[in-house]
Amino acid sequence: MAHRLLNVAHLSHDPADRRWLAVLCPSCHAKNDTPQRLAMTRRNRAKRRGQLWLSEEIRWGPLPVRTWPLRFDADEVVLALRLTAAHHTRLGATA
């Protein structure tokens, strides 16, 4: 059966990228977006719960590269690593 509705999907998940577009039925579009949607949901949930990231690249990973800062602050990454180590020390965990 032919679909009466079609969606334009950004295959790179970056709305500014006009090179990777596809016309998909709504169900295929949803299947294509599922991994990205799950990654963003996990990221946002972890951020709300106070997740510390080992690197800025990991923190910005699910987002399109064009939205990343031009330079990552190395001091922020070192602070995150120190806080994580202190947290594990308090819990009695060993690295």
In a domain, 4, yes or no: yes
- pLDDT higher than 70, residue 77: no
In a domain, 77, yes or no: yes
In this prediction, residue 91 carries a pLDDT of: 55
Q: Could you tell me if 37 and 57 lie in one domain?
A: no
What predicted TM-score, i.e. pTM, was given to this entire model? 0.55
Q: What is the pLDDT of residues 5-60, one digit of tens each?
A: 898 998 888 888 888 899 999 999 999 989 888 888 888 898 899 888 887 777 77
| Range of the structural domain that residue 56 is part of | 52-95
Q: What is the DSSP string of 33-94?
A: HHHHHHHHHHHHHHHHTTPPPSSHHHHHTTS-GGGS-SS--HHHHHHHHHHHHHHHHHHT--
In a domain, 82, yes or no: yes
In a domain, 66, yes or no: yes
In this prediction, residue 23 carries a pLDDT of: 92
Q: What is the pLDDT of residues 54-72, one digit of tens each?
A: 877 777 777 777 777 666 6
Q: Could you tell me if 37 and 66 lie in one domain?
A: no
CA distance from start to end of the chain: 57
Number of domains in the chain: 2
Q: Could you tell me if 57 and 28 lie in one domain?
A: no
Q: Could you tell me if 10 and 30 lie in one domain?
A: yes
In a domain, 47, yes or no: no
* pLDDT higher at 57 or 73: 57
